[in-house]
Amino acid sequence: MKLMKVLKLILVVVTMAMTMAEALWLEMPSSGAKCVYEEIRNNVVVLVEYAIVGINEQNQYSFIRDLISLKVTSPFGKILHHENNVTNGEFGFTTTEPGNYMACFFMNSQTPDGKAVHIGLDWKIGIAAKDWYSIARKEKIQDIELVLMKFQAWVQSIREKLIYMKKREEEMSEVSERTNAAVAWFSGMSLSLCILAAATQIWYLKRFFRKKNLI
């Protein structure tokens, strides 16, 4: 009985953690673009689902067609996904370098009939992007084994994220130390130049006053 209680608690924790996906509702401007981004480490699976919806004054919903384009780029500007006149769909990719991955929606024309355009965006990362039920069917595993597998994957994900954050902290510390050293060197050079300029000015003034027999 204690084992079952522990497993149920694990199931609740894992389920809560797995449902914390990046689900957003974006309101598009009348022209221009709307972008969202997230910092993701490398070698991580990302699954994106989206739907373009128009809302009229009576709060009636309908799909919007031939109005918006979608482009997803990597931290170094590589286009990972590009599609014109999107309505709804999904796509996925695996990150190849750490950094900010950006998804941008562009208005191709004016909104028809004065409708407000909203975008439903579900941005799933890492273990949240896995189809666990397909894995369970393929591997022929039971519910308890699936829970343990999810828990193990979640712990591994947390560990990898902590390692990534520690590495980023070390990189930022190195950049900060280099910046402080450069600022100290620049400050020393500036002070030395100021002292040299002041000494030169004093020497010139003394020489000038002696020539004029003022001192």
**Helix spans in 62-131 (H):** none
At 21, the pLDDT band (50, 70, 90 cuts) reads very low
Do the Cβ atoms of 132 and 150 come closer than 8 Å? yes
Mean pLDDT of 84-98: 86
Averaged pLDDT for residues 136-150: 66
Query: With 50 as the cut, is the pLDDT of residue 13 above it?
Result: no
Residue with the larger pLDDT of the pair 134 and 108: 108
Amino acid 16: pLDDT: 41
DSSP assignment, residue 66?
A: S
Strand partners, 120: 25, 51
pLDDT at 84: 87
pLDDT reading at 163 higher than 50: yes
For 21-130, CATH number? 2.60.120.380
In one-letter notation, the amino acid at residue 121 is L
Nearest CA-CA partner of 123 in 37, 52, 13: 37
Query: pLDDT, tens digit, for every residue of 68-82?
Result: 889 999 998 899 989
Write down the domain spans for the chain. 21-130, 142-215
> Which one has a higher pLDDT value, 24 or 2?
24
- Stretch 19-39: mean pLDDT: 74
Q: Which residue has the higher pLDDT, 106 or 210?
A: 106
Instruction: Read off the pTM.
Output: 0.58
Beta strand pairing call for 116-125 and 45-55? antiparallel
Compute the distance between CA of residue 97 and CA of residue 136 in angstroms, rounded to an integer: 30
Cα gap 33→30, rounded to integer Å: 9
Token digits for 121?
Answer: 């965006």
Residue 214 reports pLDDT greater than 50: yes
**Nearest to 105, CA basis, from 28, 160, 172:** 28
